[in-house]
Amino acid sequence: MTKRVLVLCTGNSARSQMAEALINARMGDQWQAVSAGTQPAPQVNPYALRALAEIDIQTEGSRPKHITEFTGQAFDVVVTVCDDAAENCPVWPGQGKRVHISFPDPAKAEGDDAQKLATFRTVRDDIEKRLLGWLGGD
């Protein structure tokens, strides 16, 4: 049976979107992932979409979602991915085992196009290694 995971962040435009796409692409036989934020951005960060496209992960239809879209739904795991020191992570009042796995916000990257994309790649790869690794051992 497929387990459900909710990935939470503030803007739902970068880290949580990459986590949702990675989980569904790499672990879709075990997990169904959705993501949301408390203050959703107007759009998914284009660098997040580019970083996912580089590893052949489809993101068509991706959009930032408000946490209230999932109110009343049951999840096996609720993961917050905000960087505690710099941000206020959302709290999920519903069911589900809560876990915090912090990743720096790649949207804060500075520099030229290549430098920003490199930052998104680093965070994408870290999410794949740490979060998917944790889910695989759950």
**DSSP-assigned letters across all residues of 106-137:** GGG--SSHHHHHHHHHHHHHHIIIIIHHHHHH
Closest CA to 48 of 35, 38, 32, 39: 35
Task: Name the pLDDT band for 123 (thresholds 50, 70, 90).
Answer: very high
DSSP single-letter state for residue 41: -
Q: Mind listing the pLDDT tens digit for each residue in 86-115?
A: 456 666 777 788 899 999 999 999 999 999
Active site members: 9, 82, 89
Distance (Å) of CA 35 to CA 23, 77, 87, 112: 11, 12, 17, 28
CA-to-CA distance for 111 and 122, rounded, in angstroms? 15
Average pLDDT, rounded, for the chain: 92
Structural domains for the chain: 3-137 (3.40.50.2300)
CA-to-CA distance for 111 and 88, rounded, in angstroms? 25
Q: Mind listing the pLDDT tens digit for each residue in 25-46?
A: 999 999 999 999 989 999 999 9
The pLDDT of residue 85 is: 47
Contacts for 126 with CB less than 8 Å, ≥ 6 apart: 103
Task: Name the pLDDT band for 1 (thresholds 50, 70, 90).
Answer: confident
